[in-house]
Amino acid sequence: MLPISVIFFISILAETNRAPFDLPEAEAELVAGYNVEYSAILFAAFFLGEYANILLMSSLYVIFFLGGGYFYALVSINFFNFGIVIKSLL
């Protein structure tokens, strides 16, 4: 299961457009893209949807590959969430 879990984790990074797969956000698109078009609540809803996708993917990874009890699953989900978000900031 280790090779499959590594492939699934890499696909999570690609699906959520995190580093090193963050090429869809080019410099020209940041000026003319959704960052300019949406404001206030629509902008917040857009990013809330992206981070909900990260939470869903982290939950699926924990359910598929780590298992465990309820508390262990919550801790693992938060661990992978933190890792994916921090990886995108580096």
Would you list the domain boundaries of the chain? 2-89
Q: What Å distances lie between residue 60 and 1, 24, 33, 34, 36, CA to CA?
A: 15, 24, 30, 28, 33
Chain segment 30-85, per-residue pLDDT in tens = 665 666 677 778 878 888 888 899 899 989 999 999 887 888 888 888 888 887 77
Pairwise CA distance, residues 58 & 15, whole Å: 12
Q: What is the pTM of this model?
A: 0.75
Q: What Å distances lie between residue 22 and 8, 27, 29, CA to CA?
A: 17, 11, 12
Q: Which residue has the tokens 């857009």?
A: 46
Predicted pLDDT of residue 23: 66
Pairwise CA distance, residues 63 & 88, whole Å: 23
Pick the more confident residue, 16 or 85: 16
Pairwise CA distance, residues 13 & 30, whole Å: 20
